[in-house]
Amino acid sequence: MSDKVSVLVAGSWGTALASVLAANHREVYLWTRNPDQAAEINTSHTNHHYLPGINLPANIIATTDLESAVTGSSAVVIVAPSSGMRQVARSLKPFWKEDMLCVHATKGFESETMKRMSTVISEELGCPEGQVVVLSGPSHAEEVVRLCPTTVVVASNDDKRAAAAQELFINNDFRVYTNRDLVGVELAGALKNIIALGAGLSDGLGFGDNAKAALLTRGLAEISRVGVELGANPLTFAGLAGIGDLVVTATSQHSRNWRAGSLLGQGKPLAEVLDSMGMVVEGIRTTEAAYAISLKLGVQMPITDQIYHVLFKERSPRKAVEALMGRDRKTEMEAISQETWEQWHS
């Protein structure tokens, strides 16, 4: 296996993963479309716009030439925004080799088609979806580059590819588990961004810990509900990609989704929030896609429904909370959980 690996694209998470890989491999090529950014990474070993104050390993080589970035690599890690994933995968296709390991670390859906990222990548590369590996879990880029202990999961339908991805990334600061549930890990990583927006809204409104705890718990319930409907293993949502990523994204000021929700809760209009962020807020696109998925499947996602109406239908955050608190009475346990519990205790 070649000791060269490639990362596409040089945002905060792509750069952080390149730093992890640089500890394990001799050459890490980081592809960007921005020549000024490439020059900064190669000369100053910084990526100030995305990770201010961080010095990057010297064996990260930035380039704007996609062919030179991936030729000869044993693995390609794609970290494009969900809205740009198809174009990046399409651009990769001419240089793609069947023996390359393909990993993606993007948490979102393609908004036009509601497809998961592994589906988009496999369509563009012309490979089975099972050949794509997803990396997900509780992992702020700002902490990863400071070598804070971090644990993630890699998932694939192919056990050998999952194990290869585990070997690619794992080191003393970055622990990696494997999982066979590609669908569940991708769904958990994408859908938790919606709940993180909601947690930010709650904090922006000045609500306390009780409200946030309820939001996270019931948010996980609706993520699990739609996940099971789409073929995921419900246990995945109790793991790193599920509750782990949900907690870190919904409770930390590092989280773009939490910050965007907090500003909305303080009364800022969406356009102003997006202008002030300066980075992609995946939860906004994901809310639109998840709302459409819930309608298509007939699956109840009440928190997602209310956040959708706040984002796109000018519903006030306070009215959204009132609507959630005023819903019909329900039993707490989901049907799938109740059936499983009864089987275990029969």
Q: Residues annotated as binding site for sn-glycerol 3-phosphate?
A: 107, 137, 139, 192, 245, 255-257
Numbered residues of the known binding site for substrate: 107, 256-257
Cα torsion 244, 250, 256, 257 to 10°: value is 110
Q: Which of 97, 192, 212, 330 is catalytic?
A: 192
Known binding residues for NAD(+) are 141, 256
Distance CA 207, CA 82 (A): 31
Contact residues for 82 (Cβ-Cβ < 8 A; gap 6+):
106, 107, 108, 109, 110, 111, 117, 190, 282, 285, 286
Q: Give dist(CA 188, CA 240) in Å, integer.
A: 9
What are the structure tokens assigned to 119, written together?
């589906």
User: Which parts are annotated binding residues?
Assistant: 12-13, 33, 50, 107, 137, 139, 141, 192, 245, 255-257, 280, 282
Answer for the pair 50, 84: CB distance below 8 angstroms, yes or no. Answer: no
d(CA 182, CA 155): 5
Contacts of 45 (CB under 8 A, 6+ apart): 55, 56, 57, 58, 60
Strands (E) across 146-237 are located at: 150-155, 174-179
Tell the residue number behind the tokens 């709940």, with chain if given. Answer: 195
Contact 135, 169 (CB under 8 A): yes
| Backbone phi and psi for residue 79, each to the nearest 5 degrees, phi listed first | -130, 45
Confirm if 90 and 73 have CB atoms less than 8 A apart.
Answer: no
3-state secondary structure of 271: helix
Residue 93 annotated to the active site: no
Q: Would you name the residues annotated as active-site residues?
A: 192
